[in-house]
Structure 1
Amino acid sequence: MNMVEAERRLLANALMDISNERFVLLSESCIPLFNFSTVYDYLINSTKSFVESYDLPGPVGRGRYSKMMSPLITLEQWRKGSQWFEVDRFLAIEVITDQTYYPVFWQYCKNDCYGDEHYLPTFVDMNFPTRNAYKTLTYVDWSKGGPHPNRFRREEVTEEFLKKLRTSSQCYYNERIVNVCHLFARKFSPNSLDKLLRFAPIVMNF
């Protein structure tokens, strides 16, 4: 739960600037797939926040649930999702002021329970489902299996590859189907930076 505590502190500090309306958590291996104005417009005009949240049977989903969380949180309400999220100001305030669910997670989500993959997905699904798009804006490649997503190496970074990441899927945005579903992507290795800088002006119009 130390990661969740860190996320709450980051949100609390960002909320101190009253001009901030949207809050995005990214990792050091993330890259933007679009230029700033496109990302800004996508977020500021969205009617939803973007917190991935789903029910996952098995050891890395429901298997991490503790019966000690009941009756406040039941197994049927337990959710999993990506730790990379985007929330609006309303949800950010709700997260940092939560004194009901967070203490339960702090007490019982330990050892093999990773709070950053369960707290926000469960909290948002239980309390604010209509405000959530139920997806992450950060693309990851899980095709190789294992506990961690694929790390993109320098030789994989091409103009065609970046274009594919930008528009390779369809999703709902403000109740209409669009082909821009991810604004960011991970994991990129540090040695791919020079190629990313080379292709960014071409692909992303930086």
Structure 2
Amino acid sequence: MAVTARGVKKRHVVLTRKMLILFFASLSCVLVFALATLSTLHFNNTKPPIPVSRVFHGPPKIAFLFLVRLNLPLDFLWDAFFQNGDVSRFSIYVHSAPGFVLDESTTRSRFFYARQLTNSIQVSWGESSMIQAERLLLAAALEDPANQRFVLLSDSCVPLYNFSYVYNYVMVSPRSFVDSFLDAKEGRYNPKMSPKIPREKWRKGSQWITIVRKHAEVIVDDDVIFSVFKKYCKRRPPIDTRKGKLNLKLQKQHNCIPDEHYVQTLLAMHDLEGELERRALTYTLWNQTTTKMENKGWHPITFSYANAGPQRIKEMKGINHVYYETEYRIEWCRTNSTHVPCFLFARKFSQGAAMRLLSEEVVDHFDVSALLATTS
């Protein structure tokens, strides 16, 4: 009997151990399944909670992004423009040369004090550093959740209207304003960009954009398209008469100017063109008289005091459409189906021209009642 009892007890212990092993094994499976389910739900959640950083109180702001060589030669005109505005409705960011500081000794406007980026880079025209500087400006402005519109400006840009008009014009539209059209010429697109950038997505346009926050995030978050541009979109060397026949070979290279293609192509790659007004808000008058053998191609005309008179400004403000020759497209300037002037800003203006605008009160007085009526 004693042996039988010990045998029964031994079998009981073994059975208990097996049950415990099965229990913990089952529990592990349940935990693994539960974690996998939670992970799948999180991965498939297409509408994640809005980060706290995106929540803001007060009115939405326009971020004015100045891409400049060093200082702001027209700061006195922009000072008058911003004095006309509500400081809670705008913010200012400046990308200047590395190490340059905006203070009482370098700018005449308090609005620009310490508004320079501390992580600026050296920028060269026609190089990818230009679009990298734009991305740095956008990244800095995105840190403020109240910034809902982003306007890129150069050091020679001027406002054509006062702050209230510009603010309402930009804010009333849910779209970005990006000059974008098909580039019919073969010299800019490099086939080596394919397949990351297919030929049919290649676009061209002005770099002076005005965009909504969603599109600013797309630009800042991009690594793929920007990397392709850095590698394959480069400016053709200028003609050097000392190189003789070598110039013919050099001029057969792709002449890609990154800032005239990057944003337009990137947004096309993301299928966002339906969210754009495909036109710029900055007016530029191009000199089209240069020849192929000159060192410079088309370039913007600089307005001086003499040719920045009331009639010239009136003509700029009176433009109501833009024609895109490569697409046979007329872009009528509208905001929410309401006809509006095409341009809010203009370039390139000398200091004398800007002084004339200020003396004639171009940026200080303007009736915005017609535009405000479209928001009601």
Does the pair score TM above 0.5? yes
Deviation at 1:144, TM superposition (A): 4.2
> For residue 196 of structure 1, what is the aligned residue in structure 2?
357
What amino acid is the match of 1:68? K
Q: 1:151 aligns with which of 282, 288, 302?
A: 302
* SS of 1:157 mapped into structure 2: coil
C-alpha contact (below 8 Å) 1:33/1:184 kept by paired residues: yes
Distance verdict in 2 for CA 1:142–1:106, change over 3 Å: same
Deviation digits for residues 113-153 of structure 1, max 9, x if unmatched? 11111111111123211111111000111254442111111
Shift of 1:204: 5.1
Tell me which amino acid in the other structure corresponds to 1:5. Answer: Q
Structure with a larger share of its residues in strand: 2
CA RMSD of aligned residues (A): 1.8
Equivalenced residues, count: 202
- Given residue 206 of structure 2, which amino acid in structure 1 is its aligned partner? S
The match for 2:129 is 2
Native 8 Å contact 2:169 2:335 kept in 1: no
Question: Within 5 A, what are the aligned runs for 1:1-206?
Answer: 1-58=128-185, 62-111=186-235, 112-127=255-270, 128-142=272-286, 144-146=288-290, 147-170=298-321, 171-201=332-362, 205=365
- In structure 2, runs of 5+ residues without a counterpart are 1-127, 236-254, 291-297, 322-331, 367-376
The offset of 1:173, in angstroms, is 2.3
- In the alignment, the residues of structure 2 paired with residue 104 and residue 160 of structure 1 have an alpha-carbon distance, to the nearest angstrom, of 44
Residue 19 of structure 1 deviates from its aligned partner by: 0.8
TM-score calculated relative to the size of structure 1: 0.91
Shift of 1:75: 2.0
Higher alpha-carbon deviation: 131-140 or 165-174: 165-174
Does structure 2 retain, via aligned residues, the 8 Å contact 1:4–1:115? yes
**Cα distance between partner residues in 2 of 1:193 and 1:102:** 35
- TM-score with structure 2 setting the length: 0.51
Larger radius of gyration: 2
Mapped partners of 2:194, 2:214: distance in 1? 27
What runs of 5+ residues in structure 1 fail to find an aligned partner?
Answer: none
If asked which structure has higher relative contact order (CA below 8 Å, sep 6+), I would say: 1
Partners of 1:47 and 1:174 within 8 A in 2: no
Q: Give the counterpart letter for 1:137 in structure 2.
A: L
Identity of aligned pairs, percent? Answer: 41
**SS, match of residue 25 in structure 1:** strand
User: Runs (4+) of structure 1 moved beyond 6 Å?
Assistant: none
- Alignment partners' CA distance in 1, 2:150 and 2:289: 30
